[in-house]
Amino acid sequence: MESVKRIKVKDLLQSTAYGSEVTVKGWVRTFRNNQFIAINDGSTINNIQAVVDFSTTDEALLKRLTTGAAVSITGELIESQGKGQKVEVKVKHLEILGDSDGEKFPLQPKKHSLEFLREIAHLRFRTNTFNAVFKVRHALAYSIHKFFNDKGFVYLHTPIITASDAEGAGEMFRVTTLDFNNPPRTETGEVDFKQDFFGKTTNLTVSGQLEAELAAMAFGEVYTFGPTFRAENSNTTRHLAEFWMIEPEVAFADLTDNMNLAEELLKYVIKHTIDTCADELEFLKNRLLEEEKTKPQDERSELDLIAKLNFCLSNDFERLTYTEAIEILRNSNPNKKKKFKYLIDKWGADLQSEHERYLVEKHFKKPVILVDYPKEIKAFYMRQNEDGTTVRAMDILFPGIGEIIGGSQREERLEYLEKRMGEMHIPADELYWYLDTRKFGTAPHAGFGLGFERLVLFVTGMTNIRDVIPFPRAPKTAEF
């Protein structure tokens, strides 16, 4: 039998070729009244209905039409009699491609908790929620590449295995081929990493920024988009051990250029997703409204998901200094009434997500960009301001998330950089290659890091970061 070209459900639902013969393949979502088969093939969040004549169909075949079974159906495309869809397929030929044991298949046609679905992450793609989430994730990833491509940036693949700690945070996964039970030792008894695969200690990368700076000093504008790793024991709804980062690096740019680029990027990718994922966002909006019904009134969002996304597009982000933000927070009601978990009493405090969200959601009621942070709470590579106490850092804060982007103008002056590295005990000899860019044709430059999963979290309205990456990696979690 010759293979008939299948038509995707997405295309069929928009077709008006009534009376034509079509072939649809997908997975059974539901089979009811012994005649209505809801089929989904992943091309859209919506199902197409196929109507089978049970009086002329083999009963043994009908019994195999269980939730999760894969089917191929050929039939006539007709106008639908029921509500909800314009078309349906009148079945002429039905083939089961793969059976699914209805007793054992964990995804039954009912509401499942997100916690339960995390335990079966290999199957959760087949639910409407995760169909929507990962379609949005795809749209965001595509639009990020398109944004930078259209601006003439060079996409740089930075290494995943590195010998440097870009953030100086020290929470890294070690990469080694040494035998744990019997590692080679030096004369003083330390593990001899000279005998390891790379001849030195290596880790999974925490950031591609330092390498991106090297390329920016040649191409002018580059960006990375790849996996990064943090070995911090954070079991929160906002942290992963493996996540994706977008890191542009731009030569001849200062902090204002950096803020403008970041704001433009966020607005561009949100707009692209609104334009291309209407069905998915509508579904996620309604999902969130249902979820929030269980919350007390004061914890519910003031805006629904799509309104919140449009709100970010229609407002210029509020820009203020860290110092101004501290004053606002110190005089705020939650601080005076000791409602904050971390009270703000003096300048120099590292802002927590409760403070960031207060500024965005309660005080300014729009996205916020904070600049000029104390140098003591920021990384060694940020350009020092003339006041000697702050650096040209910027963080972009979003509703519901807190910090979504962190960046800075980089310290291009060699003597300042060397002095700061000395103060922070960062070995200059290991980063000789980084310092070389300051010795040979240094220039002002700036960049930022956007945590991709936090962006997906924001755009989908999901509340746990483990639900916006296909297979989450977190403390004690490395399934599939």
Q: What is the pLDDT of residues 430-477, one digit of tens each?
A: 899 999 999 999 999 999 999 999 999 999 999 999 999 999 999 888
Distance (Å, whole) CA 52 – CA 212: 58
User: Residue 263 has what pLDDT?
Assistant: 98
**pLDDT score of 180 more than 80:** yes
CA distance 457 to 295: 19
For residue 331, give both structure tokens: 């005089």
Cβ-contact 132, 45 below 8 angstroms: yes
Q: Compute the distance between CA of residue 242 and CA of residue 431 in angstroms, rounded to an integer.
A: 24
Mean pLDDT of the chain: 93
Q: Nearest Cα to 252, choosing from 220, 294, 292, 208?
A: 220
* Cα 344 to Cα 351: distance, rounded to the nearest angstrom: 9
* Helix (H) / strand (E) containing 437: helix 432-439
Sorting pLDDT into bands at 50, 70 and 90, what band is 401? confident
> Is the per-residue pLDDT at 158 higher than 60?
yes
- Which residue did the predictor score with more confidence, 5 or 277? 277
What average pLDDT does this structure show over 105-121?
91
- For residues 31 and 100, the answer to whether their CB atoms sit within 8 Å is no
| pLDDT (mean) for 278-297 | 92
Helix (H, G, I), strand (E, B) or coil at 80: coil
Beta pairing, strands 445-451 & 402-409 = antiparallel
Q: What is the DSSP letter of 344?
A: -
Q: What is the mean pLDDT of residues 199-203?
A: 92
pLDDT tens digits, one per residue of 234-272 = 878 888 999 999 999 999 999 999 999 999 999 999 999
- Domains of the chain with bracketed CATH: 9-98 (2.40.50.140), 126-171+206-467 (3.30.930.10)
Q: What pLDDT does 480 receive?
A: 87
- In DSSP terms, 9 is beta-bridged to none
Tell me the HSE value of 474 on the side-chain side, using a 13 A CA sphere.
16
pLDDT of residue 223: 98
Percent of the chain at pLDDT > 70 equals: 98
Which of 126, 68, 61 has the alpha carbon at shortest distance from 102? 68
Q: How confident is the model at residue 2 (pLDDT cuts 50, 70, 90)?
A: low
Residue from 379, 395, 407, 256 nearest 322 by CA: 395
Pair type for strands 318-321 and 402-409: unpaired
In the chain, the amino acid numbered 402 is G
Counting Cα atoms < 13 Å in the Cβ hemisphere of 375 gives 23
Name the one residue in this structure whose structure tokens are 């000093």.
217
Tokens 């911090």 map to which residue?
232
Q: Is the dihedral of CA 470, 473, 477, 478 positive or negative?
A: positive
> Residue 17, class by beta-carbon neighbours within 10 Å (0-12 exposed, 13-18 middle, 19+ buried)?
exposed
Give 206-240 pLDDT, tens digit per residue.
999 999 999 999 999 999 999 999 998 887 888 89
Rounded mean pLDDT, 26-52: 95
Query: Can you tell me the distance from the alpha carbon of 162 to that of 174, in angstroms, rounded to the nearest whole number?
Result: 10
Average pLDDT, integer, range 294-316:
88
The tokens for 461 are: 């309205």
The pLDDT value given to residue 1: 47
How far apart CA 75 and CA 92 sit, in angstroms, is: 5
Q: Is 419 exposed, middle or buried (0-12, 13-18, 19+ CB in 10 A)?
A: middle
